[in-house]
């Protein structure tokens, strides 16, 4: 299976919950999420405990979600201006 990682991203908020040690995604428009998912639904590709949600019909990556502890992460300040996709880190920028 070849996953399409290009094209216009699904608009929404990618966030991280330190209490749950997990990423979550909230679409700006649930109807658009359903259109992107397609009539065949979606599945996940798992990398460790992190998952990439993929449309079965189009093989397009939709969003990332799942458990991913911060234990070994490196902390760095933002080096670029925050964009719409960076809303979750806007306090740090």
pTM metric for this prediction: 0.72
Can you say whether the dihedral through the CA atoms of 49, 84, 73, 2 is positive or negative?
positive
Per-residue pLDDT, 93:
41
Cα separation of the two ends of the chain: 37
What's the pLDDT at 80?
Answer: 55
Asked if residue 90 has pLDDT above 70, the reply is no
Higher per-residue pLDDT: 56 or 75? 56
Q: Which residues, at least 6 apart from 4, have a Cβ–Cβ distance to it below 8 Å?
A: 58, 59, 60, 61
What's the rounded Cα separation, in Å, for the pair 49 and 71? 14
Query: Which of 44, 24, 20, 34 shows the shortest CA–CA distance to 87?
Result: 24
For the chain, what are the domain ranges? 1-6+13-70
pLDDT (tens digit per residue) in 3-38: 887 878 899 999 999 899 999 999 999 999 999 999
The pair of structure tokens assigned to 84 is: 């719409």
- Give pLDDT tens digits for 37-54: 999 999 999 999 999 999
Integer Cα distance of 84 and 69 in angstroms: 24
């Amino acid at each position: 299976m070849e996953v399409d990682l290009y094209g216009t991203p699904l608009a929404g908020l990618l966030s991280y919950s330190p209490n749950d040690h997990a990423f979550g995604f909230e679409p700006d428009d649930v109807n658009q999420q359903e259109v992107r998912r397609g009539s065949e639904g979606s599945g996940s590709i798992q990398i460790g405990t992190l998952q990439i949600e993929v449309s079965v019909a189009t093989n397009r990556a939709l969003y990332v979600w799942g458990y991913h502890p911060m234990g070994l992460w490196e902390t760095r300040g933002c080096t670029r201006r925050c964009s719409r996709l960076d809303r979750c880190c806007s306090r740090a920028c």
